[in-house]
Structure 1
Amino acid sequence: MIEITNEFFSGKGAELCRSSLKAERRKKVRHVRNTILMVAGILVMGGLVAGLVAMISMRSGGLTVPRLVGMKYEDAKKKVEALGLFIEIDPMQDSSGNCLKLKVEIQNPKSGAGVEAKELVTVRLAGLHESPEFVRDLEKKSSGANPDQAPPAPAPTVDSAPPPQTSGNGRSVCLDPGHSRHSGNETDPATGLNVGDNGGATGEIQAMWDLALKAKAALEQAGYSVRLTKDSADASVSLRTRADIGNTCAIMVRLHYDNTGFTGVMRPPPNAARCPVSDPSRVTVVDPNVASASDSLARAVAASLGLSVKDDTGGTSRGNTTPPGHPTCLIGSVLSRVPVICIENKVDSVRNNPTGQDQVASQIVAGVNAYFQSN
C-alpha cells in the first residue's frame, strides 16, 4: 500500500499553479501579438489607400478648373493665376484692346475638370470681335486656299484662247441671310447698342439661307469672291459679328422678307444714327461715305429686282433708340464700314419657291454688276 502524504499534494498544487500562470502568460502574449498585427494591417491598408489617393492627385495635378463663365476677364485672370494655371483669350478674337471688363461666355477646359499645374485655360469673351488674322484665314479657307502657303504660279499656256471675262474680277461680296434661331440680347461694348438677333418672320431663316446659297453660287460664277455671315441656316450670329464679317468685303447685301408685305431695297440715309436707350449720349452715326455708296448700291440692285429704294427702318432690335435730330437706321447699317443694303424680298418669290429664288439670285448678280460698273 502506497502512502500519499500532504507534501505530495502540496507539490502537485504548486506545479498546477505554475502551469496556469504560464498558460495565462501565453494567452496575453498571443493577444498582444494579434493586436499588434491588426494595427499593423490597418496601417498598411491606410498607407495603400493614401498612396492611391496621392497617385490620383498626381495624375490630375491636384487642381480643378474653377467656374469662370459670367466673370469679368480681370477677375477670371486673377482666379486662374492664383491656382498656378495660365489663361488666354481665344486666339480667334481680337484682344488688342482693353478686355478686362468683358465677361467670359465660354471656357475650356470646363469648370470642374482636373488639370495639372501650369496648364492653359482658354476663354472666349462676350462682345469681342473676331481678330483680323482669323477673318483673313477664314476667307482663304472658305475659298479652298491654304492660309500658310503661297498660291502656286499659273501654269504656262500654249496657243490657248484667252479665258472668258467675268464681271466680278475677284471683288468680294458679303451675303447676310437674315435672322437666327436664338433670340436674345447682346450688348456691343464699343457702342453700347443691343446687337442681339431674333427669329424673324415665319420661314424667313430657312428661305433666306437657301437664297443666300443660290446667290453665292451665281456671284462666284460671275467672278466674285463671296462670304456668308453664317455657316448654317440654324446658326445664331449677332448683328455685330455680321457687320464685322461684312466689313472685310467690298459690299454687304442683307437678305430678308417681311410677312406684312413690306418690300424694298433699304439703305441708311445720311446722318442716320442709333443709341442705347440706357445711355442716349452714346450716339453712333452712319459713316457719310457709307451712306452715299449704299444709296448707289441700293439703286442698282433695286432696279434689277423691280423694287423701290427705301430708307432703313429702325428694325426690331430691343434696347436701342434713335437720337433726336437724326433719321433712324438698322443696327447692321450703323455698324457697317462698307456699302450696305437690306433687301426685303417679296414673300411669294422666295418662300418655298426654288424657281423664284433662282430668279432673285440672278437679279442680285445683275444689280451688283451694275453697281461695280459705275463705281
Structure 2
Amino acid sequence: MRCDNSGMLVEMNVPLRAYNAFGIVARAQTLVRVASEADLAAILADPALAAAPKFVLGGGSNIVLTGDVRALVLKVEIMGRRVVEETERAWIVEAGAGENWHAFVAWTLAQGCPGLENLALIPGTVGASPVQNIGAYGVELQDRFEALDAIDLATGRAFTLNAAQCAFGYRDSVFKHVAAELSDFGLAGRALITRVRLRLPKAWKPVVGYLDLERKQAETGIAAPTARQIFDWICEIRRHKLPDPQVIGNAGSFFKNPTVTPEQCADIIGREPRVVHYPMADGSIKLAAGWLIDACGWKGKSVGNAGVYEKQALVLVNRGGAENPATGGEVMTLARAIQTSVYERFGIRLEPEPVVV
C-alpha cells in the first residue's frame, strides 16, 4: 500500500474474494478506489497509473475471475442519490455508479417514484446496470433510461450518453464491445461510468405479464397491484428461486436466454413440446435457457466445487464454501460442458452473461 503525491491510496496485492459475488479467490496486483470524479482525474494524472491497462470493478456480481488481475483495478465507489427533475410527465432520478442497485430501487419507491419495481433484487451496482442492460419480469433498463455520465480512461474527458448512444440490446450495450478502430464507438475497457439517470413516467402501469407474477395475483386476489406490491412479490419470488450470494457464491443468471426464429422454435417444439418460450415484439422467440439446461439433466450437478443450483438451472454456484471455494477454472469448465450439452441436444449455443476475467 502506498500514497502518491496527491494523497491517493494505491493498494497492492489486494484479495478480491469479497469483491466478486462468486466468492472466487483471486488478487488484484494494484487497486485504487474511485469515490469521485476527482479521484479518477488523480489516477489519470499519475504517469504510471495512467499508462497501465485498467479493469473497472463495481459490485462484482457479473464476473468470473479465472486468475489474479494484473490490470489496474478501479474499484468504483461513487455514491449519491437524488431526484434531478420533476416534470408533468416524469421524474428524473440519478444515482452514483457505486450505489447498490436494489437499494436504489427501494429508494425510488420511498420517494414516490415508481417504475423500477420489476428490477428489484438484481445484484450489483447502478454503474453496471447500463453495461448489462439489466432486465427482469418484462422490464429492461433501456425502458427507463435517460442518460449516463462517464469518463474516457484514455483522455480523462467527461462525456454523456443517451439511450441511442448506449446501443442497448438484450443484456448488451456499447460498453460490452471493443472498437475495432479508433473511429468505432465501442467502449469496452475505454470508459468508467460515474452516474446514471433514469426517467420514471408518472403515467405508471403495472407490468405483470410473467407467469410468476400472474400466480401472485391469483394467490392474493389483487387484480391491480401497486408498485410496492410488485416490488414485494418480485423480492419474494427471487429469494425463493435464487441463492443469496452472501450464503452461496453465484453471479445470478449465468447464460442469456437465447432467441430463435419462429421456424426454429417450431422445430424444437416438434421434438420437445414442453419447451418454455416467449414471443418477442420483433417476431423472434425467446427460449428459457434454464429449461434447456434442466432438460439436459444439469440441475444439481457439479464439476469440482462449481455446481448448478438445485432450484434454478440457470444459476451456477460455488459449492466449496469458505474452506474450499470453487476456482474460476471450475466454473468455466462447468459452463462449457453445459453449452456443449445444450448445443448437441437443441442446436442452440448458449452465451454466458458474466464477464470472464
TM-score interval, smaller chain: under 0.3
Larger Rg: 1
TM-score by length of 1: 0.23
TM-score between both structures, scaled by the size of structure 2? 0.23
Q: Which protein is richer in strand relative to its size?
A: 2
